[in-house]
């Protein structure tokens, strides 16, 4: 009789074949359609036409935003091309930047009709075959790359002790211009600054708070204005805990939005929906496969219910509880961010995806 170990290995081998081989009898020319309900999409893997990498190489595609004139700005961690600027059709207009080796977060801010970008360098970066940790930083720039200011290190304003790591991953900007920084790869706090970069307070954290409220890999943050600016709240990712936590703007915990099975990245709010890339799924079979293939996206409605999981399994609720989601058809590798275009199409950035450009998802008729 085969051992339990051999039995599990057999399951993993069979699952690997299912994930990597085309469906029997499938038409290779047929469009790949993913998603569920009103949020279904056609996959456009060659949104960036082949050949552009010669002049605009990338390493990892981390986050993307769209500015008023339609251009798309994307932050990554290539040594000399950390900011890539695209047209909506996937044409790369320019690439620049060598001062954010751990380029990770990108947030758009609008101030009196002018647009600015907040770039988050996590301080974690690669050079050759080596990996390095240094302190991170958050910088405000204009759309030409001109630096406006950088935020003070939390130790310099009394928020951190010397032994505490600062490796921020994301920012969010409140309606009054206040800046919120999540230290997702460092000490897991949310750091609150005013519009000019003056430190106000910190909250959250992983230790010393109730487990149901903790931030464990506080990877992303967004200001939620869906109930109106006077009722704005913060949504913060607790990626290892497979959820988003909701806080008031002054740091009071309100609720948790669970996304079982999903190690979600930053929350992206567009219309009444919340979108997120899923970097890994907590799938016990996929986790044993070579390379740990993973990644898809999720769409949550205004009530926090997952209504679609493009690239993942169909959301199923039993007695009001979402059952764990897994990777479905192998479209993405480590979904890291979702940029929602005005027409409802999505651009999905990927991490650790073989230096490939983002994938476009064209939304089908609702």
* Short-list 114, 136, 121, 116, CA closest to 63: 121
In this predicted model, what pLDDT tens digit does every residue of 337-348 receive, in sequence order? 999 999 999 999
157, with CB counted inside 10 A (0-12, 13-18, 19+), is middle
For the chain, the straight-line distance linking the first and the last C-alpha, in angstroms and rounded, comes to 52
What's the confidence (pLDDT) of residue 296? Answer: 96
In this predicted model, what pLDDT tens digit does every residue of 48-61 receive, in sequence order? 999 998 899 999 99
Alpha helices in the chain (DSSP H): 4-20
Task: Round to whole Å and give the CA distance between 220 and 218.
Answer: 6
The enclosing H or E element of 225 equals none
What's the confidence (pLDDT) of residue 289? Answer: 57
In this predicted model, what pLDDT tens digit does every residue of 165-205 receive, in sequence order? 999 999 999 999 999 999 999 999 999 999 999 999 999 99
**3 state SS of 52:** helix
Cβ contact 194:175 at 8 Å: no
Q: What pTM value is reported for the model?
A: 0.90
pLDDT (mean) for 255-264: 97
Q: Which two tokens stand for residue 8?
A: 């599990």
**3 state SS of 64:** strand
Residue 158 Cα to chain centre, angstroms? 29
In this predicted model, what pLDDT tens digit does every residue of 279-293 receive, in sequence order? 998 765 555 555 555
Residue 117 has pLDDT above 70, yes or no: yes
Task: Round to whole Å and give the CA distance between 227 and 246.
Answer: 13
The enclosing H or E element of 322 equals strand 321-322
Going along the chain from its start, the domains and CATH numbers come out as 31-363 (2.120.10.30)
In this predicted model, what pLDDT tens digit does every residue of 85-105 receive, in sequence order? 999 999 999 999 999 999 999
Cβ contact 278:220 at 8 Å: no
What's the confidence (pLDDT) of residue 285? Answer: 59
What's the confidence (pLDDT) of residue 358? Answer: 98
Mean pLDDT rounded to a whole number for the chain: 90
Q: Which residue has the higher pLDDT, 23 or 307?
A: 307
Task: Round to whole Å and give the CA distance between 212 and 28.
Answer: 46
* Short-list 95, 108, 114, 103, CA closest to 53: 95
Cβ contact 179:168 at 8 Å: no
Interacting residues of 14 by C-beta distance below 8 A, sequence separation 6+: none
Residue 65 has pLDDT above 60, yes or no: yes
Residue 15 has pLDDT above 50, yes or no: no
pLDDT (mean) for 11-38: 57
What CA dihedral angle connects 260, 218, 167 and 229, to 10 degrees? 140
* Short-list 256, 254, 346, CA closest to 298: 346
What's the confidence (pLDDT) of residue 33? Answer: 97
Cβ contact 360:44 at 8 Å: yes
What's the confidence (pLDDT) of residue 27? Answer: 53
239 secondary structure, DSSP code: G
Task: Round to whole Å and give the CA distance between 78 and 315.
Answer: 35
Residue 12 has pLDDT above 80, yes or no: no
Cβ contact 244:238 at 8 Å: yes
Residue 298 has pLDDT above 90, yes or no: yes
What's the confidence (pLDDT) of residue 6? Answer: 37
């Amino acid at each position: 009789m085969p051992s339990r170990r051999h039995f599990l290995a057999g399951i993993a081998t069979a699952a690997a074949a299912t994930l990597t081989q085309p469906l029997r009898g499938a038409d290779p020319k047929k469009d790949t359609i993913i998603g569920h309900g009103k949020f279904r999409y056609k996959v456009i893997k060659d949104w960036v036409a082949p050949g552009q990498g010669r002049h605009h190489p990338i390493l990892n595609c981390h986050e993307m935003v769209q500015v008023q004139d339609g251009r798309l700005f994307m932050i990554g961690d290539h040594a000399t091309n950390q900011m890539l600027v695209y047209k909506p059709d996937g044409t790369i207009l320019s690439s620049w930047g060598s001062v954010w080796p751990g380029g990770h977060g990108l947030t758009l801010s609008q101030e009196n009709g002018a647009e600015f970008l907040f770039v988050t360098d996590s301080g974690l970066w690669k050079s050759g075959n080596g990996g390095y940790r240094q302190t991170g930083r958050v910088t405000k720039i204009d759309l030409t790359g001109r630096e406006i200011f950088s935020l003070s290190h939390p130790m310099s304003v009394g928020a951190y002790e010397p032994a505490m790591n600062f490796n921020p991953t994301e920012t969010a900007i409140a309606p009054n211009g206040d800046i919120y920084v999540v230290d997702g790869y460092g000490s897991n706090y949310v750091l609150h600054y005013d519009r000019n970069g003056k430190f106000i307070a910190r909250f959250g954290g992983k230790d010393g708070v109730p487990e149901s409220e903790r931030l464990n890999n506080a990877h992303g943050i967004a200001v939620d204005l869906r109930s109106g600016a006077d009722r704005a709240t913060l949504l913060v990712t607790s990626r290892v805990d497979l959820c988003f936590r909701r806080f008031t703007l002054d740091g009071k915990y309100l609720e948790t939005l669970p996304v079982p099975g999903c190690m979600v990245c930053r929350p992206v709010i567009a219309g009444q929906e919340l979108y997120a890339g899923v970097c890994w799924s907590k799938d016990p079979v996929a986790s044993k496969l070579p390379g740990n293939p993973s990644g898809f996206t999720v769409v949550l409605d205004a009530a926090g219910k997952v209504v679609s999981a493009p690239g993942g399994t169909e959301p199923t609720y039993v007695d009001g509880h979402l059952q764990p989601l897994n990777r479905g058809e192998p479209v993405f590798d480590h979904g890291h961010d979702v940029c929602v275009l005005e027409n409802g199409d999505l651009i999905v950035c990927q991490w650790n995806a073989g230096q490939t450009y983002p994938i476009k998802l064209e939304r089908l008729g609702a």
